[in-house]
Structure 1
Amino acid sequence: MSHLLIVGDKSDHNPAKAFHPAYTITNTQNKIRTFDGTKVSYSSWVWLFKLHAKGYKVLAHIDEIDAIVLQWIYGTISDDLLVRVLEPDSIAYETWSKIHNIFLKNKGSRAAALENEFDILTLRAMSSLEAYCQSLKDLARQLNDVDFPVNENCLVLQVIYGLPSEFDIVGAYLN
């Protein structure tokens, strides 16, 4: 005869309640992109992570299923970021807060660095026009994450500004 361990109130003998949906997850990267702070912005990663956590009913239960949520966090951040937040005996909330602080508590200096990168980026520094435009959009998204939004006009002007002289006619048309 097999034995089933039932979690929760002893009067509740419903085996279906013993198995939490979070235990069915083996690879969060199938649903949550790896957060690296450049290609996947902080706000995008947070939104995807929370959506995933809500879908598996752990968003409000981080303390109860902390190790699983911590694995999700560690499994969806870049190696560079992982080294900055990985600590023994850490809990999910502490790690979540560290990531928050890295990307949002240093808003001023992070915004200044991103704004400088945005201002000096040119097509010549990129492999293609598509990569150039995508990099500017990514930088604009990252600036938005630190409360320094880049409006559409500024983005278009920066695209034009970074074009080499052989694109002057296109730049004048876009302007």
Structure 2
Amino acid sequence: MVDGESSAPKPSLYPVYTVTNIQNKVNLFTLHARGYKVLHHIDDTPAPAKNDPLYDAWYEIDAHVLQWIYGTLSDELLPRVLEPDSTAQEAWNRVKNIFLNNKGARAASLESEFNNLKLGKFSSFDAYCQRLRKLSGQLKDVGAVVTD
């Protein structure tokens, strides 16, 4: 050991600080929250009390998770979820409620678009198939699976 060096292990960087682009992870948000050890910020785990010594660190990490949530929303959806002084859990619950409350209407709209899709509106057969796949995935997300 060199003079002045401590033998105590250096604290590792908390995983939440290593994410720079959550946009690609929108559909797997809960899984990533678990993987980055911040699931407790969007599930029903209560936040520490403001006088708890852990609160400041929790609050900072919660701000990162909240940024992920806001950063993954479309421009039209963001104003419906954005609220001052919100926690990540509150924002996540608003997002879930929007999708759960609109599930039936969203499924009907997607099914209509899927059933009325015309090849002639696309520049190529590949583009047409890509759109069908995307709609199929969106239908699956709202519980209306497209069968063969």
SS of structure 1 residue aligned to 2:17: helix
CA distance in 1, matches of 2:102, 2:41: 29
Query: Matched residues, percent identical?
Result: 54
Q: Is the 8 A contact 1:115 1:143 kept in 2?
A: yes
Instruction: Give 1:124 shift.
Output: 0.9
Q: Secondary structure at the match of 2:37?
A: coil
Measured in 2, the distance between the counterparts of 1:110 and 1:84 equals 16
- The answer to whether the Cα contact below 8 Å between 2:41 and 2:89 also exists between their aligned partners in 1 is no
Q: CA deviation at 1:46?
A: 3.7
Structure 1 alignment gaps of length 5 or more: 1-12, 35-44, 154-175
Structure 1 partner of 2:11: 16
Name the Cα RMSD after superposition.
2.3
Q: CA deviation at 1:104?
A: 2.3
Deviations 1:138-163 (A, max 9, x none): 11111111111111x2xxxxxxxxxx
Deviation at residue 61 of structure 1 after TM alignment: 4.4
1:139 correspondence with 2:119: no
Aligned residue among 63, 66, 69 for 1:67: 63
Amino acid at match of 2:140: N
Deviation string 1:110-164 (CA, Å, 9 cap, x unpaired) is 111111111111111122111111111111111111111111x2xxxxxxxxxxx
1: CA distance, partners of 2:103 / 2:17: 36
Q: Which shows bigger deviation, 104-113 or 116-125? A: 104-113
> Aligned equivalents of 1:132 and 1:46: distance in 2?
22
TM-score, structure 2 as length reference: 0.72
TM-score, normalised by the number of residues in structure 1: 0.62
2:85 aligns to what SS in structure 1?
coil
Residues paired across the two proteins, number:
125
Residue in structure 2 matching 1:28, options 21, 29, 33: 21
* 1:51 maps to 2:35: no
Letter of the aligned partner of 1:54 in structure 2? R
Question: Any stretches of 5+ residues in structure 2 without a counterpart?
Answer: 1-7, 48-57
Distance, in Å, in 1 between the alignment partners of 2:103 and 2:76 is 19
- For the pair shown, the structure with the greater C-alpha radius of gyration is 1
Question: What's 1:83 paired with?
Answer: 79
